[in-house]
Structure 1
Amino acid sequence: MGCRFSADYQVQSMELSLLDESKRLLQFDLENICLENIQTCILIANLCASHGNPSSEALYFRIGNSMAQIMRLNSPTSTGSIVEREIERRVWWSLFMADRWCSSGIGLPRQIKDLGGNIDLPMDESVFHSLPQHLTRHEGTWKPGLWAHMISLVQHFGPIQDLNRQSAQGCFDGWELDRTAAELSQKLDLWEKMLPTDAKETEQNFRFHQAKGTGGPFVALHLGYHHYSTLLYFRYLEARNSLTELGETCVSRCKHHASAYSALLRMARETEGCEAVYPTVGHMAVVSSSVLLHTLLFGDENELTNARRDLNSNFAALMELKQYWANTASMISRLVTFQNVCLLSAEYTHRLDGWMVRFLIEHSLPLADKTLQTVPSGIEMNTDSLSIRAQELQQQGRYTNFELSGKRIVTENNIVRTKLINNETTPLQVGNGNFAFGVDTTGMQSYLPFNTMSVWAWHNDTEPEGAPVDAYTGVPKLTHGRNVSYDIPDPNLPDVSQWLIGNPNRINLGRIGLRYKDATLAADQISNTHQELDLWSGVITSTFTVDGTKVKVVTQADFDSDAVTFEIESKLIDSGKLKVEFDFPYPPIHTTKYKYEVFVGVYDFPANHTTKQVRGSKKDTAHIYHDLGTKYYVNLRWPNKTPLELKRLESEDSTAITAHRYILSPDDGSTISFTAHFSPEKRVPDLPSTIKKRNSAEWHEYWKRGGFVDLTASTNPNATELQRRIVTSQYHVRVNSAATGESPQESGLMNNGWYGKFHMEMVVWHNAHWVSWGRDKFFHNIFPALYEKLLPTSFARAEGMGWEGARWPKMTETITGRSSPGGINAYLLWQQPHPMYMAMLAYKSQPTRKTLKRWDPILEASADYMASYAWYNESSGKYDLGPPSIGVTENTPAAATLNLAYEVAYWRYGLDVAREWKKKLGLPVPKHWTTVAKNLAKPTQIDGLYAVYDGLNASWWQDPALTRDPRSLIMLQGILPDTPAVDEKVARRTADKVWEVWTDQNIRGWGRPILAINSARIGNPKRAIYHLTAYDYWKFDDAGFAIRGGDGGTPPPFMPGNAGFLLAVAYMAEGWDGSKGDAPGFPKDDGWVVKHEGLRKAL
C-alpha cells in the first residue's frame, strides 16, 4: 500500500509484485486464523479495489470477516493489554464499515448485522496513541473517539440502502416511503445533535483536529454524514416527489448536503494533514455531483454559481484521486453516464429506479447506459468537458433553446374567451388523461352543466324487460359455406341489442358550480367576462362580474388523482350571497337518442339514485357519497386557515329536482379554496396548494419533454393558425387522450360519443402521435396493456365464430371487452392488423428484447386469426378476405365486398411483421402465416389504378357512394409502411386520381391528416401543406378542438382529428423511415420556416 503513495517511481513499480507475494503468503497461511492475517486481508482487499477488481475485494473482505467471527472479535474481552484489545476492536469495526461499503458496492448482502455485536466502540484516538504498550488497565475516563462516531453513523447506512432499493422495486407505497425516510432523517439529525462539541463540523474544530493529527478522521466522519444524508433525500429530486411539504424540505436538504460535501472535500484538499484520498471519496463525490447537476438543470438562478463552483471542485478532486486509485476512472465514467442520461429526458432524470440504485450504491460495478433514445447529437459528455458542458446545458435549456422559445410560443397561444359561451360551445378543460373537468365561463359548471369524467366511471342501465341480455348470441350469416354469428343487431331482440350497444356507458361524476342568492348562478347575471387557459401551466383563470361585483375563479386539475381545485375570490362570498353548489345527474336509458351526450346524464330522476353527506375525519375535510349503481365519493378538502362548511340543500328523502344538491361556503371571509376529489374510495385528498404546485410542475415537464415544432419564423400567412393548432392540440390530447391502459373515446373526456366507448380501428389515429412526438411514456401507458385486457374476450370471439387466434372488437370498452353490435361494426376488418403497427411503434421507441417478448403473445394471437380468417380461393389460388366485409370508409356493401384494397395490403404487412417478430425472438414462424402472407390476394387494379375492392369496374370512379370518401386508397401509400402488396407507382397514380374526385366539401374527420401524410410520402409537399391549412373546410374551434364535420351528427370535439393532425405534422417535419432531408413534408418556399426538435421518424 505504501508503494502506491511513494514519490519514487521504482518503489511504485514494486506494488504489483508485492501484492502478488502477499496473496501467495496469505494463501499459504490461510488456515492460521489470527489478527495479522485478518489485517492482511483488509490491505489486500483495498488494493484489489484500487485496481478495479471488486470481486476480489469482496472475497478478501469476506475472508477477513469470517476469520474475525471465528476469533469472536465482536465479543467483549478482558484478556490481553489495552492496546491489543483496542486493536482487535478497531479491526472488527474496520470490517464492519467495509462490509457496508463493499457489499453494497457489488450488490451482495451484508455479512455483519447492523448492531455489530456487543463489542465496545473504539476509544478516543489521542488517548489510544498515548497508551503504554503493555498496560492492562486504563485508569482514566473512557470516551469515544472519531472512529466511534463514524461507526455509530455508518449503522444508518444499511437502512438507507435498503430504503432506496425498496423504493426502486416498488415495495412500499409513497406514504410508507415518506414515513420511513422521515424516521431515518430524525435519526441522522439526532446523531449529529449528539456529537460532542469538539466533534461537530465547524472551522474551529477542523483546525483543532488538524493540529491534533486527527484531521483525516474528522473529515472522513463528516464526509460520510453528508453522503448518507444525500442518499436519503435523493429520491425527492424527482419532480413528482418534490411537491409536498416533506418533499420540498428533503430537496433542500439533499442539495445542502451535496454542496456541503463538496465544500468540506475542497477544504480538506487544501489543508495539509486533512487529506481525504481513499477510494470511496471518489464515489461519494460522484453522488454529490449528480445532485449538483440537478441544480444546474432545474435550480433557481441564484443557485447556479455555487453549483458550478462545487461541481468543478468535485471534478478536480476526482482527477486528483485518479493519480492514486485506478478505479477512479470508472467512477468518472459513471458520472459521465449519469449526465448523459440526464440529457435524454426529464422523465428519467433523478428517478430512483433500479438503474439509479446501481449508480448510487453499487459503486464497484460498471454502469450501463439506460435504455433510452439516443443522446441528441453534440451534447454527449466526456470527462474533459463535463463541467463546461453542464454550464452550457443550463444556459441553453434541456435540449436546445426550447426553454427560451417554447414557453413563449405555448403561452402566445393561450385560449382566451371574452364572451359567455353557450351549449353549442366546447368547454375549456383541466385534466390529466384519466380525468377531466369541463368549465363554462365561470371556470366551473354554473350555468352550463358540463361534465366531470374519469376512465373508471361507467354505469349499466336497467336491463330491458322481456328477453334477458344473454339471450343475444349474434346473427348468423352465411360465410363461405358455413353460418357464422356476427355481432349485428338482432331484429328479434331489438331492445336487448340496443342495450348491448349502449352499455356500459360513461357517467358524469357531478356538477360543481356557483350559487348566487340561494339559486344556481344564471347566465343573465354574469357580465364583463374574461377567461384564459394558460396552456403552459394547465390553469384556467376566469374573471367576471355578478350584479356589478367582481368574481375571480382559478381552476386546476391534479396530475396524480381524479381531483380538481378551485380558488374563488369575491366580496360576494363575504356577504354570504355567493357559494359553491354540487349536484349529481343520473344516466338516462341509452336509446339511440343518447348516442351522443353533450351534457352527460339528466337531473330529472332524483329517486333513482342516492347521495349522502359523510363526515370527514378532520375538520378540513368532508365527503359526499353517491350511489347510482356505480358507487363513489366526492372527497373535499380545504385549507385550515379558510375553513368551509358543507350542507345538504334538501333532506335525504326529498324527491325534488334539487334533492342531490349540496352547498359549500365559509363562515366568513371573501375566499373559497378547496379540492374536489372523485374516487370509488373515501380518501383525504391533497390540499389545493399541493395540487397547484404539482399540476404546474407536471405541465412544465410535459412541454419540456418530447417534441416541439416552431413555425414562428415563417412568413406564410397560414403559419400562425397552424402554430395555434399544433400547440392547442398537444394540450387537448394530454387532457383527453392519455389514459392508462385505455384508448380514448372519440370525444375524449369532454362528453359522450357512441355512449362513451372507444373504437379499436381508431387506435392508430388516437395514439401513434405519442411516439412520433417523443412522448413515449403515454404510448407505453396504453399499449400493450389495452390489447392484453381485451385478449381473453377476443380469443372467445374468434373461437365462437370458428376462427383461430384473437378477433379484436370494433366498438368496445375494457370492462366487458364486448364488441357492441352494429351493422358496420361486425364486418370491419382494418382493426385486426393494428397490433402489428402499434408493436412496431413500440419497438421504434424501445428496441429491446423486453418489448419483443411483451408484444409477442398479442402479435401471435392476431396473426393466428388473420391467417385463419383468410380463405383459400381454389379458382385464383390466392387467399381472399371477405365477403362479408366492410372497409375503412364504411361505405361498401358488406355482402359483396371482397378483398378491400387497403385491408389486404395491411393484412400482408401485419403478417410480415408477425413473422419477423418471431425471427427476432429466435422462435419458429408458423408455416401457415407464411403461406397466407405470400399467397394473399393483392389490391385490385383497374386501368392502372387501385380500386376500393375486387369486382368493381372502371365506372366506380363515377359512383358517389364510393367516391364520397375514397381515403382507403391513399392510405396505401402513406400511413401504411412499404409492403410487397403495394406497387408504389400505381399507388401514386391512384393518389392523384383520388385528389381529383374527393372534393374539399366531402373530406371529414381524419381525412385531412391522411391526405397530408400521403402527399408528403409521394413527394408533393405543397399538396400536403394545403391539406393541413384548408381552414375553410377543416375547422378547429376557438379552443383548438378539431371538428369532425361531414354528417353533422357528431358534436365536437373529434379527438382523432387533433391526434391525427399531430401525427401528420410530425410526419411532415421529421419524416418517415427512408425519407431524406429536413422537413420533407413542408414546401421549401412559400414562406415556410420549420424548426423542430425531439420528434421521431414515422414508420
Structure 2
Amino acid sequence: MYSRPTAIDRKALVRRHAVEQDSLDPRSPVSVGNGEFCFTMDLTGLQSLPAKYPVGARGELPAGTLLGTQAQWGWHSIPPEQDYTLAGSTVLYDSPRGPVPYVDMAGGLVDGRETESSRAETWLRANPHRLDLGRIAFALPGRDSPGLAPEDVAHPRQVLDLWTGAAASRFTLHGQPVGVTTACHPHRDELGFRIESTALQQGLAISLSFPYGSEAWHYAADWTRPEAHSTRVEELPATGKGREWLISRRLDNSGYQVAVTGAGLELVQTSPHGVILRAANGAEALDFSVHFISTGQGDCLLRGTGGIGFASASASARASASATGKEKAPAPGTAVIEASRTAWPDFWTSGAAVELSATEDPRAKELERRVVLSQYLTAINCSGSLPPQETGLVCNSWRGRFHLEMHWWHAAHFAAWNRTPLLLPALRWYASILEPARQTAKAQGFDGVRWPKQSGPDGRESPSPIGTFLVWQQPHPIHLAELAYRAEPSRELLEEFAGIVFESADFMVSFAHPTARGFELGPPLVPAQESYESIRGTVSNPTFELAYWQWALRVACTWRERLGLPPRDTWLAVADGMVRPKVVDGVYAAIGVEPFTIRTDHPSMLCALGVLPQTDIIDPAIMRATLAEVMAGWDWDSTWGWDYPVMAMTAARLEDPETAVAALLLDAPKNLVLPNGHNRQTDSLPLYLPGNGGLLAAVALMAAGWDGGPDRHAPGFPADWTVAWEGLVPAP
C-alpha cells in the first residue's frame, strides 16, 4: 500500500543505521568530515593500522591506504624537469569540419594500467595531485616499532553515530581499556579527539606524521622522500584552551599549517616529519584538537566559505553562547565534538527524508540503509567547493583529480533532496575555469566553453585517449543549474549561473553539425559508455548524448525566457533538429555506427530516458525493449556503481517499479555496499561515490515522481511498498 507524505521520526531513522563494527573489516573504515575536509579512521578511532586498510595498486606501485586525511584545498605538484605542455600530446583528428586538434595520449590504457610513453604525459596526468595531509595514530614509543600492531588491539567496538557525526571507539590494549571519541568540526578543517585510558600513564601516546606528495594513481602520500619537504614545530603562547603548537609544512610550492591544541598535553618533535603527543602529569585522559590550515601557498588553495553548511543560525548561536558565556569553555577536543553533535542533527532535519521500514519486502531494509549512509557519505565528501574525485576525501584515485562527467552523479541528488546549498559551491567552481575552457573550444574551432574531463583545481585537461573525447560532461552544468533552480527558484540564481549555462550551450550548438538527416554529434567522440575508445575517430551519434543535447539546449532556452532575454534561434533549431538515435533489432544502439552496441561498461543508452525526462527523439516503447534486453544479459562485471541507478530511473519512468527496485539491489560485484556505506568497485577503487549519489537521485525520482509522471504517491516503487517521504523535489 502507499502512504502519503508524513512526518518522519528522522532521529530514529538515522540512528538505526549507525555503523557498528566489532572486528576489523579492511574494506570498511569510517570517516568524519564536513565536505571540505575528511578524516578516515580504523577501529582505534585514529589511523593506527594503515597497512590493514589497503587500496590495491595499479601497475607496479605498492598498495595505498584508505586511511586518508584530505582537504579540498590540499594539492601539490612535483616540480617538473621542464615546462611540460599539452602540445606534445595534441593530435589532429578528422571531423565533419575538417581536422580538429585533440589532446590525446601517446601511451594509453591497457587493462586499466597506464602506459604513458613520455615523462611529459606522466607529469601532466599526475600534477597537481591531492595530498594526504598527515597521519594521526596511537604509538607506544618504548618499543622498537612504536606503532600499534593488529594484535595489540583486542575486543574492539566502534560506533559511528550518523546523527551526531561522532565516532566512539573502544578497545583493550594489553589489558587496559581505551576509549576514543573522534569528530570533525562542521565549519573548520579541525578534528576533535577525547581519549580516556590508564594506558596513557604507561606510555601510550599519539603520533602525528607527515608525508611528501605522490604521483601514484591511488596513493596521496610518499613516505620515502624526507629530504624533499620540511616540517617545523613551534609552541605558541598559552591560551585559555591550553598549550598550542603550530606545525608549518612546506612541500615545494605548497604549504600548510597544523595547529595542535590541548590542556594537559605535551608535544615533542621526534623525527624530521613526526611529533609525539603525550598526556602530562600522569593524566588518564587526553582532550585535544588538530586543525589543518591552508596558507594559500602554491598548489594549496585558499579555503572556501567552509563546511557542509548544515549548522543553522540557531545552532551557531548556541555554540557561540556556550563558548563565551559564564560556563567554562570546553576543552579543545570536546569543543569540536560538541560542535559536531550540534550541527549534524540540523543536517538530518533539513532537506528530505525517505523511510521504508514499514515495508514487508525484506529488500526495503537494505535499501533504506544504503539511502541513509549515502546521504552521510555524500555530505562529507561531495558538498565542498570543488567537484569531488570519485573516492571523495577518503583516498586518492586518478591522483585525486576529479572527473567532470561524474559531477552529476556526485551532486544532482542534493537538489532533489532539498539540500541545494550543498550543490552550489562546486557548481560555482566552473566560473573559475571559464577562460581555459573557452581556449579549448576556440582551439578546436567551437564557440562557448568546452569543459575538461579529468582535471585538478586549475581546470587543465589531462592527456588521455578517452577523456578529451567525451562530451557528456558538457550539458552537466546546465542540468545541475536547472535542478538547483527547480529546488530554490530565484532570479539571483539565474543571474549567477546564466553565463555557465549559456556558454555551455554555445559550445553544444557549434559542436552539433548539420547534415541532410539533421544535426549530428561526432566524430571524433567517446560516448559515456567508454567501450569505444579504440574507434574514437569514427564514433558518432551516441543515443544518450543526442537526447542530452536536445533536452539541455531547450533548458538553456528556458533560462533566457526566465531572464527576459531574447531567444537564441540557433539553439532551438539545433535542439529541434537533432537526429534520431540508431535502432537495431528493435532496441536503441549505444552509438550510431558499427558495432552499434558492445555489451560491456555502462548501458548508457538507458540514460536517454531515465536520467533525462522524455524528449522528442526517444520512443518509450523502444526504450522499454532496450531496458529488457540490458536486464536480460549485460556483462555485469564490467559495469560501474551508477549503472544500477540508471536502470532504476529508466524503469521508473517506464512505469515498471518492480524492475526499478530490482535494479537498485541487483546482485552484482560493483553494486556491493559495505557496512560503512562505501560502494566498492575493485581493490584499486574501494569506494565509488557516484554510486552513492546515483542511488539518492534514483530513490528521489522513484518516491517524489517526475513532471508528467503518474499521479500517485511514490510512483517508482511497487504498490505493496510502504514509502514515507517528505521534502523531496520532483524530477524534471
2:705–2:730 CA contact under 8 A, matched in 1: yes
1:564 to partner: Cα distance: 0.4
Match of 1:1093 in 2: 726
Instruction: Provide Cα deviations, 1:526-566, integer angstroms capped at 9, x if missing partner.
Output: 21111111111011111111111111111010011001011
Does residue 402 of structure 2 align to residue 769 of structure 1? no
Match of 1:559 in 2: 186
Change (3 A) 1:470 1:1074: closer
Does residue 555 of structure 2 align to residue 913 of structure 1? yes
**What aligned pairs does 1:261-340 form with structure 2 within 5 A after superposition?**
none
1:504 to partner: Cα distance: 0.5
Instruction: Provide Cα deviations, 1:433-481, integer angstroms capped at 9, x if missing partner.
Output: 100001111100112162110000000023146x744654622222235
Name which of 138, 147, 169 aligns with 1:542.
Answer: 169
Does residue 218 of structure 2 align to residue 596 of structure 1? yes
Q: CA RMSD for the aligned pairs? A: 2.3
Match of 2:48 in 1: 446
Match of 1:243 in 2: none
Does residue 679 of structure 2 align to residue 1042 of structure 1? yes
CA distance in 2 between counterparts of 1:488 and 1:620 reads 54
SS at match of 1:489: coil
Change (3 A) 1:412 1:468: closer
Match of 1:993 in 2: 629
CA distance in 1 between counterparts of 2:553 and 2:87 reads 36
1:966–1:998 CA contact under 8 A, matched in 2: no
Change (3 A) 1:987 1:737: same
CA distance in 1 between counterparts of 2:89 and 2:443 reads 10
1:919 to partner: Cα distance: 2.1
CA distance in 1 between counterparts of 2:378 and 2:565 reads 38
Instruction: Provide Cα deviations, 1:1015-1061, integer angstroms capped at 9, x if missing partner.
Output: 111011111111122245421112111123xxx46421100011111
Name which of 104, 115, 121 aligns with 1:488.
Answer: 104
CA distance in 2 between counterparts of 1:996 and 1:1032 reads 13
**What aligned pairs does 1:67-106 form with structure 2 within 5 A after superposition?**
none
1:1083 to partner: Cα distance: 0.8
CA distance in 1 between counterparts of 2:503 and 2:697 reads 28
**What aligned pairs does 1:541-940 form with structure 2 within 5 A after superposition?**
541-575=168-202, 577-588=203-214, 590=215, 594-597=216-219, 600-618=220-238, 620-629=243-252, 630-638=254-262, 642-650=263-271, 659-668=272-281, 669-681=283-295, 687-740=332-385, 742-783=386-427, 785-814=428-457, 816-873=458-515, 876-892=516-532, 893-940=535-582
SS at match of 1:633: strand
Match of 1:338 in 2: none
Gaps in structure 2 of 5+ consecutive residues = 51-64, 108-115, 297-302, 304-329
CA distance in 2 between counterparts of 1:1002 and 1:494 reads 29
1:908–1:979 CA contact under 8 A, matched in 2: yes
SS at match of 1:896: coil
CA distance in 2 between counterparts of 1:927 and 1:1095 reads 35
2:86–2:463 CA contact under 8 A, matched in 1: no
CA distance in 1 between counterparts of 2:369 and 2:557 reads 42
1:464–1:499 CA contact under 8 A, matched in 2: no
Instruction: Provide Cα deviations, 1:784-810, integer angstroms capped at 9, x if missing partner.
Output: x02212211111110111111100111
Name which of 36, 41, 59 aligns with 1:434.
Answer: 36
CA distance in 2 between counterparts of 1:779 and 1:829 reads 22
2:137–2:208 CA contact under 8 A, matched in 1: yes
Instruction: Provide Cα deviations, 1:52-72, integer angstroms capped at 9, x if missing partner.
Output: xxxxxxxxxxxxxxxxxxxxx
CA distance in 1 between counterparts of 2:218 and 2:117 reads 23
Name which of 16, 20, 33 aligns with 1:416.
Answer: 20
Match of 1:653 in 2: none
Match for 2:449: what amino acid? A
1:877 to partner: Cα distance: 4.8
Match for 2:694: what amino acid? G
1:973–1:988 CA contact under 8 A, matched in 2: no
CA distance in 1 between counterparts of 2:713 and 2:168 reads 39
CA distance in 2 between counterparts of 1:468 and 1:1001 reads 37
Q: How high is the TM-score relative to the length of structure 1? A: 0.58
Gaps in structure 1 of 5+ consecutive residues = 1-377, 379-398, 651-658
CA distance in 2 between counterparts of 1:915 and 1:720 reads 42
2:288–2:331 CA contact under 8 A, matched in 1: no
| Structure with larger Rg | 1
Match for 2:368: what amino acid? Q
1:848 to partner: Cα distance: 2.1
Q: How high is the TM-score relative to the length of structure 2? A: 0.87
Name which of 669, 693, 696 aligns with 1:1059.
Answer: 693
1:836 to partner: Cα distance: 2.0
CA distance in 2 between counterparts of 1:542 and 1:1092 reads 33
Instruction: Provide Cα deviations, 1:817-870, integer angstroms capped at 9, x if missing partner.
Output: 111111001111111111221121022012222222222211211111111112
2:590–2:603 CA contact under 8 A, matched in 1: no
1:585 to partner: Cα distance: 1.1
Does residue 10 of structure 2 align to residue 406 of structure 1? yes
1:421–1:440 CA contact under 8 A, matched in 2: no
1:704 to partner: Cα distance: 0.6
CA distance in 2 between counterparts of 1:473 and 1:836 reads 30
Change (3 A) 1:824 1:574: same
**What aligned pairs does 1:38-437 form with structure 2 within 5 A after superposition?**
401-402=7-8, 405-422=9-26, 425-437=27-39
Change (3 A) 1:468 1:822: closer
1:421–1:441 CA contact under 8 A, matched in 2: no
SS at match of 1:770: helix
1:1042–1:1057 CA contact under 8 A, matched in 2: yes
Name which of 508, 529, 532 aligns with 2:132.
Answer: 508
1:413 to partner: Cα distance: 1.3
1:426–1:1053 CA contact under 8 A, matched in 2: no
2:530–2:601 CA contact under 8 A, matched in 1: no
SS at match of 1:463: coil
CA distance in 2 between counterparts of 1:470 and 1:762 reads 23
1:603 to partner: Cα distance: 1.4
Change (3 A) 1:401 1:872: closer
Instruction: Provide Cα deviations, 1:918-965, integer angstroms capped at 9, x if missing partner.
Output: 122221223322332222222122344322222337xx56xxxx1124
SS at match of 1:883: coil
Match of 2:660 in 1: 1024
CA distance in 1 between counterparts of 2:396 and 2:248 reads 23
1:474–1:490 CA contact under 8 A, matched in 2: no
CA distance in 1 between counterparts of 2:718 and 2:436 reads 47
CA distance in 1 between counterparts of 2:45 and 2:683 reads 28
CA distance in 2 between counterparts of 1:860 and 1:775 reads 24
CA distance in 2 between counterparts of 1:707 and 1:568 reads 35
**What aligned pairs does 1:445-464 form with structure 2 within 5 A after superposition?**
445-448=47-50, 450-464=67-81
Q: How many residues align?
A: 663
Greater percentage in helix = 1
CA distance in 2 between counterparts of 1:889 and 1:553 reads 45
Change (3 A) 1:799 1:614: same
CA distance in 1 between counterparts of 2:261 and 2:544 reads 54
